[in-house]
Amino acid sequence: MLARRIYLDYLATTPMDRRVLEAMTPYFCERFGNAASKSHAFGWEADEAVQAARVQIGALINARPAEIVLLSGATEADNLAIKGVVGFQRDRGRHIITVVTEHRAVLDVCKALEQAGQAEVTYLPVDRVGLIDIDQLEAAIRDDTVLISVMAANNEIGTLQPIAEIGRLARERGVFFHCDAAQAVGKIPIDVDAMRIDLLSISGHKVYGPKGIGALYVRSREPRVRLAPMIHGGGQERGMRSGTLNVPGAVGLGAACELAGREMRDEAVRVHGLRERLHAGITTALDQVYLNGDPKHRLPGNLNLSFAHVEGESLLIGLSGSAHADLPAIAVSSGSACTSATLEPSYVLRALKVGEALAHSSIRFGLGRFTTEEEVDCAIARVIAEVSRLRRLSPFHHAATARQPRSSPDGDASSPDGDAQVRPVVADVG
């Protein structure tokens, strides 16, 4: 029997896997030692658990256990990676290259360094599906470039960047490469050696682990990456992040990474199939629905759609409410960023040149480990019902039904609001 609420926001956070909770539980009350206590068995036991977690985390990304720095999450990892490199390399250079569609944990750090006069930043544009141009990246590298920071998978649109190509270019030019992989780790294969990644950010709660724990992979050789610390104190984590370790969190992150390593391939195939089922079910019944992001190179569980002539926030409210007593509420998120005073369209979608009206009408569906076919089918029915209801109330939809989107020479469709062209959803997106 279906629950009264269906969770399709796995890109915001994931429910903890119960197997992860089982691994963590003893370290709250029974094995409660401080991993920095070296004089008794309680501390030794905690330290052994932390070192085992480093092995599990490292194995998922092909890293050495000693290269795993435990932190509070991917936001702290991004901060330490970027500020740490700039701080340590200040005599060599202060130029950073990143991308306009990065997570705020990267963009806001770069802007803060710029405002403090500690860095100069080049923000690369993206194409209409969210990919960077490798030639533009190469042209942006300067003699004083110390860091390239590009995320593996975009948190809104799911587009996968060519990480191996970026890593190869960075290595050839002698520039450190940082990758925010919070959305990618555990969902697609990541190999820091094969991809030539020097720093990589990981988040526990994106991979069915606990909140409040994450990790930064820091390459130890060929080349060795050295960072200026942000937090000073007891010298934990090789001096890069002082503070008492979150032992239960570390154990949980390790267990989550081990599970992902074992199950990722089969899980990705299953989740991709569910995404295609959701996608086809919606677009078969509704017209003027547009895909945001790369139609092929995207996360298995990400589907970001814009619904013409529907306001995204109204759709969110409708889906999460109880207007349809016979259908469960659906938890999804919007591509529009809200402030207290106004609605602003997603900066990611605007970077893709999606028209403002469509940017405001976008919904991000996130599917994951515990999503079922029955839930997907229910979501399809709920989306169709709610979009149809809102369009019946929209004067813009009534005015537009007499005309169909124009086709451009490359097969894309113009957005109904007359703004930039966007790619229509097709049933065989992979």
Gyration radius (Cα) of the chain, Å: 23
Residue 2 is encoded by which pair of tokens? 């279906």
As beta bridge partners, residue 217 has 68, 200
Q: What is the pLDDT of residue 398?
A: 54
CA angle (185 as vertex; 124, 211 as ends), nearest 5: 105
> What positions carry a catalytic annotation?
338
| C-alpha to C-alpha distance for 312 and 320, rounded to whole angstroms | 12
| C-alpha to C-alpha distance for 192 and 108, rounded to whole angstroms | 25
CA angle (284 as vertex; 354, 9 as ends), nearest 5: 60
| C-alpha to C-alpha distance for 36 and 53, rounded to whole angstroms | 15
Q: What is the pLDDT of residue 85?
A: 98
The sign of the CA dihedral 349, 355, 361, 367 is: negative
Can you say whether residue 128 is alpha, beta or left, with left for phi > 0 and alpha for psi between -120 and 50 degrees? alpha
Tell me the one-letter amino acid at 79.
N
For 216, list phi and psi in degrees, rounded to 5. -120, 120
Q: What is the pLDDT of residue 321?
A: 80
| C-alpha to C-alpha distance for 208 and 368, rounded to whole angstroms | 10
Ordered domains of the chain (ranges, CATH): 5-11+264-400 (3.90.1150.10), 18-260 (3.40.640.10)
The 3-state secondary structure of the chain reads: CCCCEEECECCCCCCCCHHHHHHHCHHHHCCCCCCCCCCCHHHHHHHHHHHHHHHHHHHHHCCCHHHEEEECCHHHHHHHHHHHHHHHCCCCCCEEEEECCCCHHHHHHHHHHHHCCCCEEEEECCCCCCCCCHHHHHHHCCCCEEEEECCCECCCCCEECCHHHHHHHHHHCCCEEEEECCCCECCECCCCCCCCCCEEEEEHHHCCCCCCCEEEEECCCCCCCCCCCCCCCCCCHHHCCCCCCCHHHHHHHHHHHHHHHHHHHHHHHHHHHHHHHHHHHHHHHCCCEEECCCCCCECCCEEEEEECCCCHHHHHHHHHCCCCCCCCEEECEECCEECCCCEECCHHHHHCCCCHHHHHCEEEEECCCCCCHHHHHHHHHHHHHHHHHHHHCCHHHHHHCCCCCCECCCCCECCCCCCCCECECCCCCC
The model's pLDDT over 239-297, given as tens digits with 9 standing for 90+, comes to 899 999 999 999 999 999 999 999 999 999 999 999 999 999 999 999 999 999 999 99
Q: Which residue stretches of the chain have pLDDT < 70?
A: 1-3, 322-325, 335-343, 395-430
Q: What is the pLDDT of residue 404?
A: 55
Q: What is the pLDDT of residue 338?
A: 39
Do you know the residue count of the chain?
430
Q: Which residues contact 270 (CB under 8 A, 6 or more apart)?
A: none
Say what the pTM is.
Answer: 0.90
Q: Are 207 and 256 a contacting pair, CB within 8 Å?
A: yes
